[in-house]
């Protein structure tokens, strides 16, 4: 932050919404968006927030089913935060097919 950063690109793992249970809020979709928003405010910089997407095959290969992280398919999202923390992007419905975004 001390180097005059104007745009920060965040890359998070696959994140799902918090269940309200004992899972880590800080590693949920909401928690990591809050962290990216805070980074934008603290650094007075734009933040391009992105998360990875995990498939059923990925969950099986990593043997994470039933765990607290990357335990179900999905989890991909993105957002853009302004230096004041305001979200300036529009969410895309997670059921939208990739081909329809072109």
Instruction: Render 33-90 in DSSP notation, one character per residue.
Output: HHHHHHHHHHHTSEEEEEE--B-HHHHHHHT-TTSSSS-SSB---EEEE-TTS-B-S-
Radius of gyration of the chain, Cα coordinates, nearest whole angstrom: 15
Contact 78, 48 (CB under 8 A): yes
- Residue 91 vs residue 10, higher pLDDT: 10
pLDDT digits (tens, 9 = 90+) for 24-73: 888 888 999 999 999 999 999 999 999 888 888 988 888 878 777 777 77
pTM of the model: 0.78
DSSP 15: -
Banded pLDDT at 91 (limits 50, 70, 90):
confident
Q: Tokens 């095959």, residue? A: 57
- Compute the distance between CA of residue 102 and CA of residue 47 in angstroms, rounded to an integer: 23
> Sheet of 78-81: strands edge to edge?
7-12, 46-51, 78-81
- Phi/psi at 46 (nearest 5 deg)? -75, 145
Average the pLDDT over each of 15-24, 47-56, 92-101 and give the range with the smallest value: 92-101
């Amino acid at each position: 932050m001390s180097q005059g950063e104007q745009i920060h690109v965040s890359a998070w793992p696959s994140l799902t919404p918090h269940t309200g249970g004992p899972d880590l809020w800080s590693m949920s979709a909401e928690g990591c968006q809050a962290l990216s928003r805070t980074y934008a405010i603290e650094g007075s910089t734009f933040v391009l927030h992105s998360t990875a997407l995990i498939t059923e095959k990925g969950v099986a290969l990593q043997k994470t089913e039933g765990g607290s992280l990357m335990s179900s398919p999905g989890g991909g999202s993105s957002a853009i935060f302004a230096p004041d923390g305001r979200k300036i992007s529009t969410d895309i419905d997670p059921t939208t097919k990739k081909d329809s975004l072109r």
